[in-house]
Amino acid sequence: MKEMTGLFAMIPGEIFLDESLNAKERLVLAVLYFHRNQRTGECFPSLSRIARCSSLSLKTVKRTISSLEARGRLERKNRFSSSGDPDSNQYLLRGWGQADPTPGHTDPTVGSHRPGGWGQGDPLTYDLNKEEEQKNLPPQSPVLEPKPQPRKNIHEETVRVAFEKFWALFPKRQGKKAAFEAFSGLFPAALGAELLNQRLQNIGGQAVLYADSVQGTEPKYIKNPVNWLRSIDPDEEATIEEETWVRVEEAE
């Protein structure tokens, strides 16, 4: 926190004489008056700053401000930054300002050594509030740009996803590990994206047609997936009504 020297604020005596106010309410009001802009009657200290200046907990400060607001001692409005994020509240206090007719209390600079007092337009108050807010922000990890996936990884992931779809639609599920090896063997890493896509469509179409052809057949007469994969021609086109596989884009 920046060191503040030579500052003072004029606080209404009724704050200390009003028996309806408790000690915590008097402390919070005193802090708000210390930050108050004497011309507008407004102030903008953050909750953490009010807690620091009053030696009260943040929870107590929130509860006390709500109590003062309910009793008409202050007005509170939410504020937001230019980016839409919540900012420190605006508090409006009455009396002891430029418009206050009380004799001897028309000096707009009372309470601050800066013209305009400790209001929104005062750069020192703004800096202090932002400093407090930054202290309360949770630590953030640096944002790293995602590294592009190597072509090999993209190829392997595409084949793995396509196999899971094949496995779900094939009429017999037996020997999944061997079937995956046979399935992967139909898509060597050097296969271009266009041919890879064509083979995916061909195998998917053939699998759908085979599943339709063996409906109602006893399981013992249905080929195991690995044997069926070894028996097909992956470049033989098979037309089905619905496209089954996810396409791979050509690498630039």
The top-scoring range by mean pLDDT among 6-20, 59-73, 104-118, 146-160 is 59-73
Please tell me whether residues 132 and 38 are part of one structural domain: yes
Which residues span the domain enclosing 169? 151-231
Could you tell me what percent of the chain has a pLDDT over 90? 23
142 is a domain residue: no
Q: Are 116 and 122 in contact (CB under 8 A)?
A: yes
Q: What is the pLDDT of residues 126-140, one digit of tens each?
A: 555 566 566 666 666
Please tell me whether residues 190 and 98 are part of one structural domain: no
Q: What is the pLDDT of residues 30-83, one digit of tens each?
A: 998 888 877 777 888 999 999 999 999 999 999 999 998 888 888 888 888 777
Number of domains in the chain: 2
Q: Are 39 and 116 in contact (CB under 8 A)?
A: yes
The pLDDT assigned to 182 comes to: 92
78 is a domain residue: yes
Please tell me whether residues 161 and 56 are part of one structural domain: no
Q: What is the pLDDT of residues 75-116, one digit of tens each?
A: 888 888 777 777 788 888 765 443 344 444 444 444 434 333
Please tell me whether residues 162 and 103 are part of one structural domain: no
Please tell me whether residues 18 and 128 are part of one structural domain: yes
Please tell me whether residues 189 and 130 are part of one structural domain: no
Work out the mean pLDDT of the chain and round it to a whole number. 76
The pLDDT assigned to 57 comes to: 93
More confident residue, 22 or 247: 22
Cα separation, 158 vs 184, in Å, equals: 10
Residue 179 backbone phi and psi in degrees, to 5: -65, -40
Q: Are 118 and 125 in contact (CB under 8 A)?
A: yes
Please tell me whether residues 35 and 118 are part of one structural domain: yes
170 is a domain residue: yes
More confident residue, 251 or 152: 152
Residues 142-166, mean pLDDT to the nearest whole number: 77
At residue 45, the 3 state secondary structure works out as: coil
Please tell me whether residues 177 and 132 are part of one structural domain: no
Return the H-helix or E-strand segment holding 43. strand 42-43
The pLDDT assigned to 130 comes to: 61
238 is a domain residue: no
Q: Which of the listed residues 136, 159, 187 is the one where a domain comes to its end?
A: 136
Q: How confident is the model at residue 149 (pLDDT cuts 50, 70, 90)?
A: low
Cα separation, 148 vs 98, in Å, equals: 62
Please tell me whether residues 161 and 110 are part of one structural domain: no
Cα separation, 194 vs 33, in Å, equals: 73
Cα separation, 112 vs 36, in Å, equals: 9
CB contact set of 189 (below 8 Å; sequence gap of 6+) = 152, 155
- Least confident range of 120-134, 179-193, 231-245: 120-134
More confident residue, 133 or 229: 229
Please tell me whether residues 158 and 132 are part of one structural domain: no
